[in-house]
Amino acid sequence: MIKAILGAVAIALASAAAFIYSGLYPMGADDQHNKITYWVLETMRENSIARSAKDIDVPELSDPSLLLMGGADYNDMCSGCHLKPGLSENDMTIGLYPSPPNLASRLDEHGHEHRLTNEDAARRNFWIIKHGIKASGMPAWGPTHSDDRIWGMVAFLERLPELTSGQYQILTARSAESGNGHH
């Protein structure tokens, strides 16, 4: 019996290795994952982020200076992939896979629903901005940006879906800033 189990495990491992080395799995970003692979990766990602972010303390995010600091950073670092008011897609959102969510649209319009409280959404956003997501095109900004600057982006993200193009332009312009909280 034990021999049979060991034999089955050995065959399974050999098959997995053969599949990995065969080069049969399509790796092009223009060839989507099958439903099972997508479900496995998404479920693993969401549960991992929720687990890692659950103990993060969320600071007060309604300070206008935080919005200005986060707005300028969002425009420079994020809008190329996550868009801004008035834009529904660009070369990056079409070409990247998985496609980056449109953060300028309301949660129920950007492809999937998270059913998170505001605090949990803030924790999730902070964790993702700081640590990035493997093999998704989302970089970790933590090594080069302070937590304060990342919270600025989180604060801005909370209000981004309600902003008009005009409000977005004013909040993200850098020329009027005299530090915007950076010292």
Partner 1 sequence: MNTKKILMTTALATLFVSTLSIAHDPSLHTSNKEKPNCQAMHEMDPSMMDMNDPVTQAIMKQCGKADMKEQQEDEKTACTAEHAKLGHCTLEESTNKDEGQKSKDSEHDHD
Q: Closest distance between partner 1 and the C-beta of residue 76, in Å? A: 5
Q: Closest distance between partner 1 and the C-beta of residue 144, in Å? A: 4
Helix (H, G, I), strand (E, B) or coil at 48: helix
**Cβ closest to partner 1, residue 76 vs residue 89:** 76
**Cβ closest to partner 1, residue 29 vs residue 173:** 173
Phi and psi, residue 158, nearest 5°: -60, -35
State the residues that interact with partner 1 by CB under 8 A.
62-65, 67-69, 71-73, 76, 141, 143-145, 149, 159, 162-163, 166-167, 169-180, 182
Cα dihedral sign for 48, 49, 52, 55?
negative
Which amino acid is located at 15 in the chain? Answer: S
**Cβ closest to partner 1, residue 98 vs residue 171:** 171
Residues 154 and 57 sit within 8 Å (Cβ to Cβ): no
Span between the terminal Cα atoms of the chain, in Å: 69
Q: Closest distance between partner 1 and the C-beta of residue 116, in Å? A: 21
Residues 78 and 139 sit within 8 Å (Cβ to Cβ): no
Q: Closest distance between partner 1 and the C-beta of residue 5, in Å? A: 49
**Cβ closest to partner 1, residue 98 vs residue 141:** 141
**Cβ closest to partner 1, residue 71 vs residue 100:** 71
Q: Closest distance between partner 1 and the C-beta of residue 75, in Å? A: 8
Structure tokens at 180: 């915007």
CA distance 103 to 88: 10
Q: Closest distance between partner 1 and the C-beta of residue 91, in Å? A: 19
Residues 163 and 52 sit within 8 Å (Cβ to Cβ): no
**Cβ closest to partner 1, residue 68 vs residue 83:** 68
CA distance 60 to 11: 55
